[in-house]
């Protein structure tokens, strides 16, 4: 049986966090990046979208964790715990996280993914770079695999950042997509 089929059987075709019976996709629970039965969970688009873009988080959606936090599946426990921690300014979420019990190994995994432990992309001055920022390149940078350079002073507008790769930011300058080292940028 494929990994995905095994996971669909485990979750009974329901989102492992909110229980939605809709299209599901496997989601690797960081720091794992590979989809494996032990390190991934099946999520609906609503859950995965809000996990990937915390600024779009709808607090009430996550009341579903009230049920899923009791899952026997370790990666589900990890994700539920992390989401409750992110919401811990809400009294109900703090109450739930206090009730959760995680095996030592699972607790260690869960803590690895907390926002404060995640490295953030920072510019030359140590200022955190966020999605949508405009940055100026502070020195000529060779473009990998070509003889071209990104000239010092080039402005990259509306960058995107990735939690998986905090050393780089992505964006467009002169209509060309580029991928540059965060510390060679200055936030505008
Ligand atoms: Zn869901």
Ranges of CATH 2.30.30 domains, the chain:
135-187
Element (H, E) at 65: helix 65-68
For the cut 70, the answer to whether the pLDDT of residue 35 exceeds it is yes
For the cut 80, the answer to whether the pLDDT of residue 164 exceeds it is no
Q: Which residues are placed with Cβ below 5 angstroms of ligand 1, an ion?
A: 15, 17-18, 20, 44, 47
Ligand 1 centroid–CA 14 distance in Å is: 8
pTM > 0.85: no
Element (H, E) at 25: strand 25-28
Q: What are phi and psi of 182, to 5 degrees?
A: -55, -40
- The CATH class of the 135-187 domain is mainly beta
Ligand 1 centroid–CA 43 distance in Å is: 5
Query: pLDDT confidence of 26, banded at 50, 70, 90?
Result: very high
Among the listed residues 91, 89, 98, the one whose alpha carbon sits nearest the alpha carbon of residue 69: 98
pLDDT tens profile 105-137: 999 999 986 655 567 889 998 888 999 999 999
Ligand 1 centroid–CA 8 distance in Å is: 14
Ligand 1 centroid–CA 23 distance in Å is: 10
pLDDT of residue 173: 85
For the cut 90, the answer to whether the pLDDT of residue 103 exceeds it is yes
Sign of CA dihedral 26, 49, 34, 85: negative
């Amino acid at each position: 049986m494929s990994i995905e089929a095994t996971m669909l059987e485990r979750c009974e075709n329901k989102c492992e966090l909110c229980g939605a019976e809709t299209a599901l996709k496997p989601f690797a629970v960081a720091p794992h990046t590979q989809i494996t039965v032990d390190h991934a969970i099946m999520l609906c688009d609503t859950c995965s979208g809000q996990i990937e873009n915390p600024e779009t988080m709808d607090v009430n959606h996550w009341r579903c964790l009230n049920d899923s936090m009791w899952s026997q599946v370790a990666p589900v426990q990890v994700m539920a715990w992390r989401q409750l921690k992110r919401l811990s300014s809400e009294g109900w979420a703090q109450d739930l996280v206090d009730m959760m019990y995680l095996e030592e190994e699972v607790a260690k995994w869960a803590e690895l993914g907390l926002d404060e432990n995640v490295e953030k992309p920072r510019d030359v001055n140590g200022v955190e770079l966020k999605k949508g920022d405009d940055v100026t390149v502070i020195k000529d940078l060779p473009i990998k695999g070509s003889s071209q350079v990104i000239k010092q002073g080039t402005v990259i507008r509306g960058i995107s950042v990735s939690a998986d790769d905090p050393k780089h930011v992505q964006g467009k300058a002169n209509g060309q997509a580029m991928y540059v080292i965060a510390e060679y940028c200055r936030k505008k």
